[in-house]
C-alpha cells in the first residue's frame, strides 16, 4: 500500500494534505464527513493519505461540504493529469486544450470507456497493477472524459476499427454497457463515430492508433500509439502526412449512420 511521504510536493500529495487540513479545521471526524457526503469513511481516509485518487463527483461533494468553491475539484484535476505516465503527459495536456480531435483507434478510446470496461482493460497491464493503483488509473481515465463536457465542447471524430468491436470481454453486461455508451456518444452533436470494416482492406494506419489534435490557435499535433510504443509529433510536414492518411481511412469507413447500425447489429448478434 502506497503512502505519500511528508516531502512529496506532487499535486496528489497537495490534494491529500488539503483534504485532511480542511476536515480537521472544520472539526469533523471521518464518521461525520461520511454522513455529510454519503461516502465510506475508510475511502475518505484513503483520499486523505493519498492512497486513492477519487473521481470528480467526490471532490464536488467535498467542495460543497467545506465551502471551498472549486478548489478541491481543481486540485483533483491536476492530480488526475499527473497520474499518467510521463510519455503520455504532454499528449494529455494537448488533449485537454484541443478544440478538434480526430482519432483512429485499434482499441476503445479512454474518452469513450465505461468505468467497468476501463477497469477490465487496465487490469491486463504488465506488470500487474496493485488494487489501489488500478483504481487510481481507472479514476484518472474516467476523469479525462470531463473534457468532453466543456463549454464549448471539442468536436470529436472517432473511427473504430472493426476488430475493436469484435473483441468482447468475458462479462456480457460490461460489453452491453460499453456499447450503450458508444451509441450515446454517437448521438451527441459534437461527436462523430464511424466504423472501419474489415472489408475496407489494407490501409496506412494498420497496426496502431492515431490521435490528431487541433488547438485553439490552429496548431496541430499527432499522437501515434502501438502496443509497446508511443510518439507525439508537431512537425508540420509529418502532421500533414498523417492527416492525409487519416482522411483516406475516413473515406474507407462506414458513414456515421451506417456505423451506428453496424454497432447495433453487432450488439444484437446479427452481424
> Can you give the pTM of this predicted structure?
0.71
Q: Is the pLDDT of residue 98 over 50?
A: yes
Listed by start position, the domains of the chain span 11-81, 90-111+144-268
- Mean pLDDT within 238-266: 95
The stretch 238-265 carries a mean pLDDT of 95
Closest alpha carbon to 261 in 201, 197, 203, 209: 197
What is the bridge-based pairing of β-strands 155-161 and 100-105? parallel
> How many CB atoms lie under 10 A from the CB of residue 144?
19
Which of 91-95, 96-100, 253-257 has the lowest average pLDDT? 91-95
Rounded-to-integer distance, Cα 263 and Cα 270, Å: 10
Share of the chain above pLDDT 70, in %: 92
Per-residue pLDDT, 270: 60
C-alpha cell at 238: 509529418
Task: Give the class (CATH, top level) of 90-111+144-268.
Answer: alpha beta
Residue 103 DSSP code: E
* Terminal Cα distance for the chain, rounded: 45
> What residue has cell string 473511427?
159
Q: Does domain 11-81 have CATH number 1.10.10.60?
A: no
User: What pLDDT score was predicted for residue 136?
Assistant: 86
The whole-angstrom separation of Cα 18 and Cα 135 is: 21
Task: Output phi, psi for 15, to 5 deg.
Answer: -60, -45
pLDDT for residue 129: 87
Tell me whether the CATH fold assigned to 11-81 matches the one assigned to 90-111+144-268. no
Query: Which three-class secondary structure state does DSSP give residue 264?
Result: helix
pLDDT reading at 1 higher than 60: no
Buried b (16+ CB within 10 A) or exposed e, 41-71: eeebbbbbbbbbbbbbebbbbbbebbebeeb
| DSSP label of 9 | -
The whole-number pLDDT of residue 93 equals 83
Residue range 86-110: average pLDDT? Answer: 87
Confidence of residue 9 (pLDDT cuts 50, 70, 90): low
Peptide bond into 64 cis (omega under 30): no
The DSSP code sequence of 183-222 is HHHHTSTTEEEEEE-GGG---TTTTSEEEEEE-TTS-EEE
Task: Write the DSSP symbol of residue 50.
Answer: T
Tell me what pLDDT residue 83 has.
Answer: 56
* Per-residue pLDDT tens digits for 23-63: 999 999 999 999 999 999 888 998 998 887 777 889 999 99
Q: Is the pLDDT of residue 6 over 60?
A: no
What is the average pLDDT score of the chain?
Answer: 88
pLDDT at 8 over 80: no
Mean pLDDT of 233-246: 92
pLDDT digits (tens, 9 = 90+) for 152-192: 999 999 999 999 999 989 999 999 999 999 999 999 999 99
Amino acid at each position: 500500500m502506497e503512502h505519500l511521504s511528508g516531502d512529496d510536493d506532487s499535486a496528489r500529495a497537495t490534494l491529500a494534505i488539503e483534504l485532511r487540513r480542511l476536515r480537521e479545521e472544520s472539526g469533523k471526524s471521518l464518521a461525520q464527513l461520511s454522513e455529510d457526503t454519503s461516502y465510506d469513511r475508510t475511502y475518505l481516509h484513503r483520499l486523505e493519505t493519498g492512497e486513492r485518487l477519487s473521481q470528480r463527483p467526490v471532490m464536488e461533494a467535498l467542495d460543497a461540504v467545506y465551502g471551498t468553491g472549486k478548489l478541491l475539484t481543481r486540485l483533483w484535476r491536476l492530480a488526475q493529469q499527473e497520474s499518467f505516465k510521463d510519455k503520455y503527459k504532454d499528449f494529455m495536456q494537448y488533449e485537454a486544450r484541443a478544440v478538434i480531435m480526430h482519432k483512429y483507434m485499434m482499441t476503445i478510446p479512454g474518452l469513450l470507456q465505461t468505468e467497468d470496461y476501463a477497469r477490465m482493460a487496465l487490469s491486463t497491464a504488465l506488470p500487474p497493477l496493485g488494487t489501489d493503483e488500478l483504481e487510481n488509473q481507472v479514476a484518472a481515465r474516467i476523469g479525462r472524459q470531463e473534457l468532453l463536457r466543456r463549454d464549448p465542447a471539442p468536436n470529436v471524430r472517432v473511427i473504430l476499427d472493426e476488430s475493436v468491436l469484435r473483441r468482447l470481454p468475458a462479462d456480457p453486461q460490461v460489453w452491453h454497457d460499453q456499447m450503450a455508451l458508444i451509441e450515446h456518444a454517437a448521438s451527441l452533436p459534437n461527436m462523430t463515430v464511424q466504423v472501419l470494416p474489415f472489408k475496407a482492406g489494407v490501409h496506412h494506419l494498420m497496426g496502431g492508433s492515431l490521435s490528431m489534435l487541433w488547438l485553439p490557435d490552429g496548431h496541430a499535433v499527432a499522437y501515434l500509439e502501438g502496443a509497446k510504443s508511443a510518439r507525439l509529433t508537431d512537425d508540420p510536414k509529418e502532421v500533414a502526412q498523417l492527416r492525409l492518411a487519416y482522411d483516406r481511412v475516413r473515406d474507407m469507413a462506414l458513414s456515421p449512420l451506417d456505423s451506428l447500425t453496424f454497432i447495433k447489429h453487432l450488439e444484437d448478434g446479427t452481424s
